[in-house]
C-alpha cells in the first residue's frame, strides 16, 4: 500500500515511529515533512499530503498537536476525507462509514503506541458502502 505522511513540529517524533512501523509491514511511504522540531505551519504539510492522496497514494497520515488543524486543511481538497481519530471505534467508523482516506492524529493527546495502533486499524478497515456510499457522495 502506498501511504503519504506529514506532520508539523509537534508530530515529528510520532511520524518517525509510524514510518518505522509501516515500513516493517511492507508499505511504501512518502514522507513530505517536516523533519525536525523547528516551528512550521501545519497547513503546508496537510496540503502536501492531501494533494498526493488525491492523485497518487492510497491513504494519508497527518499528525499535529491536536489533529484538528491538519484535518481542516486537508479537507479543503476535492476527494479528501480526513478524519480526526482518537480511539478505536472512531477510527473504524471513519473508514467503514465515511470512507476516510486520511487519518489525522493528535500528538499532544495520544501516546505514540496508541497512534500506531489507530493507524493500523485505519489501514485494515474497509468502507462498507451501501447506505454509506450515498452519504459519502454528498460530502
Task: List, by residue number, the catalytic residues.
Answer: 64, 97
pTM check: above 0.85: yes
pLDDT tens, 40-66?
999 999 999 999 999 999 999 999 999
Instruction: Note down the domain range covering 16.
Output: 2-137
Average pLDDT over residues 69-87: 98
Domains in the chain, number: 1
Q: Give the single-character DSSP code of 65.
A: S
pLDDT of residue 18: 98
pLDDT of residue 89: 98
pLDDT of residue 49: 98
Give first-to-last CA distance, the chain, whole Å.
25
CATH value at residue 28: 3.40.1400.10
pLDDT of residue 73: 98
Average pLDDT over residues 68-84: 98
Only one residue has cell 523533519, namely 35
pLDDT of residue 4: 98
pLDDT tens, 86-119?
999 999 999 999 999 999 999 999 999 999 999 9
Q: Which three cell numbers stand for residue 8?
A: 508539523
The Cβ-side half-sphere exposure at 124, using a 13 Å CA radius, reads: 9
**Which residue spans within 9-139 are E strands per DSSP?**
28-31, 59-64, 82-84, 102-106
pLDDT of residue 6: 98
Amino acid at each position: 500500500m502506498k501511504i503519504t505522511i506529514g506532520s508539523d513540529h509537534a508530530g515529528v517524533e510520532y511520524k518517525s515511529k509510524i514510518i518505522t512501523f509501516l515500513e516493517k509491514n511492507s508499505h511504501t511511504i512518502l514522507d513530505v515533512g517536516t523533519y525536525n522540531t523547528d516551528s512550521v505551519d501545519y497547513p503546508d504539510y496537510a496540503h502536501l499530503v492531501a494533494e498526493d492522496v488525491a492523485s497518487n497514494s492510497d491513504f494519508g497520515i497527518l499528525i499535529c498537536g491536536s489533529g484538528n488543524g491538519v484535518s481542516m486543511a486537508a479537507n479543503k481538497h476535492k476527494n479528501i476525507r480526513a478524519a480526526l481519530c482518537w480511539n478505536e471505534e472512531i477510527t473504524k467508523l471513519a473508514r467503514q462509514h465515511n470512507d476516510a482516506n486520511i487519518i489525522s492524529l493528535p500528538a499532544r493527546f495520544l501516546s505514540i503506541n496508541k497512534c500506531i495502533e489507530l493507524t493500523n486499524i485505519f489501514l485494515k478497515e474497509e468502507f462498507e458502502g451501501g447506505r454509506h456510499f450515498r452519504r459519502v457522495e454528498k460530502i
